Chain A
Amino acid sequence: MENNAPIAVSNMSRIILISLLPVIAIIIYFEGQSYDPALIQFKSGETGQEIEASFFPDEFETLNRAGQPRTYNRENLYEYINGHAEFFIKSGFLKLTVTDYIQKGSTPNQPDAVVDIYDMGKAIHAFGILSDEAGENPLDLQIGSMGFKTSQGINFIKGKYYIKVTAYSDNLPLDSFARGIDDKIKQDPDTFPVFSRFPDIGEVLSTRYIKEAYRGLEFVNNVVEREYKINNNIIRIFIVMDEESVIDKLTVSFVDYFHQSEINYTKIDSTGKTLYIVNDPYEGDWYMLPMGNSLLGIFGEANDSVVNAVAAMEEQSGK
């Protein structure tokens, strides 16, 4: 008898539920007929557009916004940055919102300033684009998560956004304008733990993120590369961080690639440590150090003492 009680309750529930079905159907039918303007949406998604649109002030000091923000997606980004769109898309690009500004009192034949806000999906992707666009010798600027200034404008990142403020006229309040936009973007400034793994071996010239196919090798993804200057020598160190099993597979992929591509290398083993010295016809001699949950490579004009110093530092930071 005790065992039958729950079954009886369950049967009763089913009967009630079935009897309620016509009532539920009628409610859904009539609800469905009522007009809800929120249901009418264009494909590109008004909500997302409104978020980015709110980052653009209608006016700022001597500047007025000219027209509504324009948006570009993965399919039509090439209309805005032909030739480089694919690179942005590969780097995680989701959406671009662009707005023109004109100086108050001027004729709006062409914009005096243009603001581009790229939604890169993730902070690390935005960082990747910023570091790629920085070119040589950018003037660092304390804005957003990080940024730089050129003769044409200010580029910075904040959270998942990469922001480009470009001036087309002289005497614009560019710094304060960029900071005004920075204030409007509510994003947590992400940190990148991989940065702390880079050894302190010299002057840091640049740091960049490569999402896919590092140096054209399709099996090497999610790489951060830092360029150093040591006694007038340029050295580039790259790090991939992942689970140890993934790093192991990556190391095997490198070795397979060396064999398939006629690249000679020397493997030096010790307890728990391995150094590969690679004689690469395209990259020059370079060094590879798998270290547990990271794989580190050293390119450029590195001498042996630099390699040893890096290995020692990595060993310390890995402990």
Chain B
Amino acid sequence: MKRRDFLKASFITTAAIAGTPFTAESKSETPKVKKYQEIGKTGLKMSDISCGTGGLPSSSMVLRAIDRGINYFDTAPDYGPSEKYIGQAMKKIQRDKIIIASKFCTPYSYPSHLTSGNSKKEYIKAAEDSLLKMKTDYMDFCLIHAIGEQSMSLEDEKKRLLSEEMLSAFHDLKKAGKVRFLGVTSHGPNNLEELLMTAVKSGHFDMIMPSFNFMKFPKIPEVMKEAKKRGVGVIAMKTLAGARDTGIEDNGETFAPAAFKWVLKHPEVNGLVITIKSISNLDLYLSASGQKFTAADEKILERYANNFGNEYCRTGCNECEVQCREGVAIATTLRYQMYFRDYGQEKKAIKYYAKLETKADKCSSCENKTCDGSCPYGLPVSALLGEAHDDLTIV
């Protein structure tokens, strides 16, 4: 008895059986990866649009992504079950055809990202635990997770970045064939550019993964140029600049592909990672693969910037700050205001602001507001500082 016949016989015993096979119609063209680029000097070529796994819904999504041409998967032990899902998919995957990056990290709560205080043994264990979950003998990259996040101190984070224990652990893991390359990620909020530049120049890192989008961190291109010069790969993340209004579109061109194309037009960028949570995410995001950044895309990003750009200080720009004779820490003040207004961290913001040596109250008596007009993004700096001071001080 054939399998289906058996099932029919058992499932329906009392009624007439009508088993109707449906053969799928041929489907319309689905978007696929159209471009691959080498990551630095690693010899590994990644899909320009790649998969971040922070919200990966299932192992089947890994297979769907691979079927669409995505070959780079960015995961971490603290990204929920994503490593497990990759492991479940592994038996159907040709391991050498995909690139897997995970992080020196534990699955436990903060601070799950390993720090300068962790031992070599802990670094090795973190990587080996990831391999076990992903059912693979090696990962292509292991990354320092979110440098610039744990401390506002540049020196403290440099210690984490160049921890002897971590470097020694990586050396041993590489020798054992368990990890091939070393990388580092950063989305700030502190010293993103300085830390990534340190990583690039240190000679220890094969790839950096910065937060990089059309609205943020203007000095990142310098870091990326240095990375390219030294053969260090660059993979972009946080490419949607917050994606506050996904309804923005122009002649059917939508915001996410436009933002991706902007990122990928930079020759230093080898590819980008974006969380893929659904099939429609795949369809939308992959429509940007291998495509040129166009005038229509620029319009969309301009519209986004017009809607949100004049509220958004680009950390690290400093164009206005060098103009201020009073020495007001403009970017820091506006960042604290962002904590106050957008993050709901009023007390923290007020406390931090109180510690600043020169506050924005100087602006009210300033007769030469050189900061106004100096912002390349058109922020009304002195007015914003006045509002920030009001928010951040208790009268």
Contacts and interface: CB of A to CB of B under 8 A. Distances in A.
Chains A and B form a bound pair: yes
A132 interface: yes
A116 interface: yes
A83 B79 contact: yes
Nearest to A215: B58
B109 A166 contact: yes
- Interface of chain B: mostly helix, strand, loop or mixed: loop
Interface in B176-220: 187, 189
A145 to B, nearest CB: 19
Interface string A267-288: 1111101010100111100000
B339 to A, nearest CB: 8
A115 to B, nearest CB: 9
B280 A218 contact: yes
B58 A216 contact: yes
Nearest to A83: B54
Contacts of B7: 268, 275, 277, 304, 307-308
Interface in A72-93: 73, 75-76, 78-87, 90
Nearest to B75: A83
B8 to A, nearest CB: 6
Interface in A245-259: 258-259
A216 B60 contact: yes
Interface in B84-100: 84
B108 A214 contact: no
A196 interface: no
A213 interface: yes
B10 A305 contact: yes
Given A81-B78, A82-B146, A308 B11 contact: yes
A282 B68 CA distance: 12
Q: Max chain A CB contacts within 10 Å: which of B23, B275, B279, B341? A: B279
Contacts of B64: 216, 282
Contacts of A83: 52, 54, 76, 78-79, 145-146
Contact of A282 (B18, B63, B79): B63
B395 interface: no
Contacts of A260: 25, 27
Given A262-B27, A264-B22, A218 B54 contact: no
B3 interface: yes
B12 interface: yes
B116 to A, nearest CB: 12
Given A262-B26, A264-B23, A42 B346 contact: yes
Contacts of A71: 344-345
Contact of B19 (A114, A136, A166, A268): A268
A216 B61 contact: yes
Contact of A86 (B21, B55, B57): B55
A231 to B, nearest CB: 18
Given A214-B57, A273-B12, A76 B345 contact: yes
A268 B63 contact: no
A80 B110 contact: yes
Given A216-B61, A216-B278, A218-B280, A271 B15 contact: yes
Interface residues on B, range: 35 or more
Contact of B54 (A42, A86, A281): A86
Interface in B330-349: 339, 341-348
B324 to A, nearest CB: 28
A230 interface: no
Given A82-B146, A277-B7, A73 B344 contact: yes
A178 interface: no
B343 A76 contact: yes
B392 to A, nearest CB: 13
Nearest to A45: B344
Contact of B60 (A82, A213, A283): A283
A267 B55 CA distance: 33
Contacts of A275: 7, 11
Interface string A287-319: 000000000000000001101100100000000
A24 B4 CA distance: 79
Q: Max chain B CB contacts within 10 Å: which of A85, A150, A268? A: A268
B109 A116 contact: yes
Given A116-B109, A216-B279, A133 B15 contact: no
A43 B133 CA distance: 42
A160 interface: no
A277 B4 contact: yes
A43 B346 contact: yes
B107 interface: yes
9 contacts: A43-B341, A86-B275, A133-B80, A216-B61, A260-B27, A261-B279, A268-B11, A277-B4, A282-B63
Given A43-B346, A213-B57, A307-B11, 13 more contacts: A83-B145, A85-B54, A87-B55, A90-B55, A164-B109, A216-B57, A259-B22, A260-B25, A262-B25, A269-B20, A271-B14, A282-B67, A304-B3
Interface of B: 3-4, 6-8, 10-12, 14-27, 52, 54-55, 57-58, 60-61, 63-64, 67, 76, 78-81, 84, 106-110, 117, 133, 145-146, 149, 187, 189, 275-282, 339, 341-348
Question: Which 4 interchain pairs have the tightest Cβ spacing?
Answer: A44-B344, A262-B24, A76-B343, A282-B60
